[in-house]
Structure 1
Amino acid sequence: MTPRDASEGSQGFEGNGSRWSDLDRPPLNATALRRGLVQEGGLWSRVEVVQRTGSTNSDLVALAAGGGAREGAVLVAEEQTAGRGRLDRQWTAPARSGLFFSVLLTPAEVPVARWGWLPLLTGVAVATGLSRAAGVDTALKWPNDLLVTVGGEERKAGGILAERAGDGGVVIGVGVNVTLREEELPVPTAGSLALAGAVSTDRDPLLRGMLRALEQWYRRWRDAGGDPAACGLQETYAAGCATLGRVVRAELPGDRSVVGEAVAVDGDGRLVLATGEGVQEPVGAGDIVHLRPA
């Protein structure tokens, strides 16, 4: 399952002074990750770690399209040179400073109309796994951002991107800043687990924690036929969503924007805004800007 132009494995250093020689950022242990995650009857079918690639999402989508990956495939990169967020925004970080990975899911038992919950489900799993393994409080910004608090300020430490992979699959990419330092932040509003005071920044248990939580939530959601209320996903997402109860501006396609209080996440995963005109407007896509507490 090795992507083109990506070297397999993540052991060893490339000499003093290189981007790989930071002793505070040891390599992932691919063998131990496979041993801990790939289990008989489990979701994760394969775990591969590559030193460097453009985008784990692009690689895994291509592999799935060519029949080179099946459900439960996990692709992790020590460094991404062309990582993407929503709206094709670039996601870059120093080598081994974060966790950058993609997974392939094929929820055949779930109606396609409910697949839109997968990024939100992944957000819940990532927040759950990191809270347990890193000991840091996290929150979710609708629809796909992971927030931490640094110096009393809300900052983005991670993001999620879901892409269709052929007719029957979805590739979900996750990027989390783990040991990114203040001087390395791409923008002042970015953060990392280390800056948020995480008790552990060991990436191996952090990755295992996120993937185990993702497996648990995915099974619950799939077994419920994708019903977010029946499996508890809708309630859990709402409880951890920092957007709810806030006055926000939704920047929508077509250069339109709506300002209102975020009052709910509906059964389709849309953010419901109560506007000043007394109208409740569901938002299914767009950028959300937190303006102030409600």
Structure 2
Amino acid sequence: MEKNKVKKLSQERNEDANDTLKNKNVGKDARSETGANAGKTAKMAEGMATGKAESKNVFEKLQNLFIEEGENNKRKYEDLSEHIDKMKTYFDEKINSLKDNTHENLEELKYYLDQLNKNNKGNITESNTFKDDFDLVKIDMIKLKKQKEDNVNLIKSSMRTYFDKIKSVRMHVDLCMLSATNANIESIREELTNYKENNQIENKKRNIEILQLINDECEILNKKIEESLNSLSTDVREARENMCRFKEYMENQMTEIKCSMEANKKEMDDKINAIYTNQKKLMEDFYPSEKS
């Protein structure tokens, strides 16, 4: 649009100069005819004819000069148009590249989020597995407790049976047999006490080991989640910084190109105005009598 406007302005100025030159030639012819009708001498007529031929040569030179200047301006406008097309192509490529990079960054971010979701699902599965193992241990503890109660009840039942048998024994049983029985009872009591203590210690040890394993796995899981979140946050922050820097770079490039285009436009206007002024000055220099 700017190119067409400048071209139109130049054409109008060239047409004005041509019209001025034609009007001057018409005026000159009229003056020549008036002098001839007034009875000027053959010598003056010959001099005017010579001046007319010279004016015609000057007109042809000026016309050739204007044509050459117009062709130069046309080439300059074509070069400027080609330069603008190249800049447009360059910016289209830059914008497409920015779109591709943004799409790639979004795809990479989506990949990281998918990986994080997969890790979270895996962690949930591991947690469920630990929970199932803990439930199994709990079931085993209940079974052991029930088994221990059954053993105690069996021992109690055996002791009752044993005491019933003792009561049924004759009163004249030897004291040694009674002492031996008492010794056996004490031994059974000690064994029962030791069994209870050992069973409780083993159960506590097993529970402590299970809880320690669960705690270790939870710590490892938390560390992995924290590392994944930190890595994702760093990648997102770097992507945002890269996008901001690229945006600033593109804005600076656009500003520089705009300034360059304005400077080129101003330079072209100045050159056209100078050409127009020079043309007008040449017309006035060749025909100074027209001023008066």
Bin for the TM-score computed over the shorter chain = under 0.3
The structure having more radius of gyration, on CA atoms, is: 2
Q: With a CA cutoff of 8 Å and minimum separation of 6, indicate the structure with the bigger relative contact order.
A: 2
Q: TM-score, normalised by structure 1?
A: 0.18
Q: TM-score, normalised by structure 2?
A: 0.18
Q: Which has the higher helix share?
A: 2
Q: Which has the higher strand share?
A: 1
